[in-house]
Amino acid sequence: MKRNLFVTAMLVVIALVAGYNWLADNAESATETGTIETAETDLLDNDNDRDTQSATPQDDAEADAYSEPASDELQPGDSADEYIGKVSSLPDITLDDLPPEALDTMALIYTGGPFPFSKDDSVFQNREGILPDQDIGYYREYTVITPGENDRGARRIVGGSVGELYYTADHYDSFSEIDQNS
């Protein structure tokens, strides 16, 4: 129990540091390029243009294209938690329910390695179609060492580009989404 608590605390610290560095890097580059200000201005300009135009049948058709999306659709600016919650209907697994080796693998993922196997951190293609549908290259796979196995075994963690993690104990036949806040 103490080991799990220590590993969990370590994972939280690593995730916070990695998240802070990522946010700092991306906020700085977005500010330098004017991306944030430009996007806000464009949105305001588009809203003003629609408000000042006269209504015609063609405008009504265009307005339908701008209608409010369903609450389960992804929106620009959604946080990673909102994003993950909208695309995954897989069962959750808590950190306490993972094998200790999975926590070790997560620590390596958060720090960028080094990984024990050459196939770790390679593209996972989601051929089984169990994970939410994404472009090739979105997911990466990592080995969860299985004690007593002479090879990589069947256990894996698959990570998505926005930070979501999935665990499989049966070599991709089923997945659970890792609740990283548990």
Comparing C-alpha atoms, which of 133, 110, 135 is closest to residue 121? 110
Here the tokens at position 158 are 């698959």
Report how far residue 36's alpha carbon sits from residue 133's, in angstroms, rounded to the nearest whole number.
Answer: 28
Active site residue 28: no
Active site residue 141: yes
Which of 141, 149, 164, 177 is labelled catalytic? Answer: 141
Report how far residue 179's alpha carbon sits from residue 13's, in angstroms, rounded to the nearest whole number.
Answer: 16
Peptide bond connecting 114 to the previous residue in cis, omega within 30 degrees of 0: yes
Which of 68, 164, 171, 177 is labelled catalytic? Answer: 171
Comparing C-alpha atoms, which of 9, 7, 168, 172 is closest to residue 103? 7
Report how far residue 31's alpha carbon sits from residue 38's, in angstroms, rounded to the nearest whole number.
Answer: 10
Catalytic residue set: 141, 171
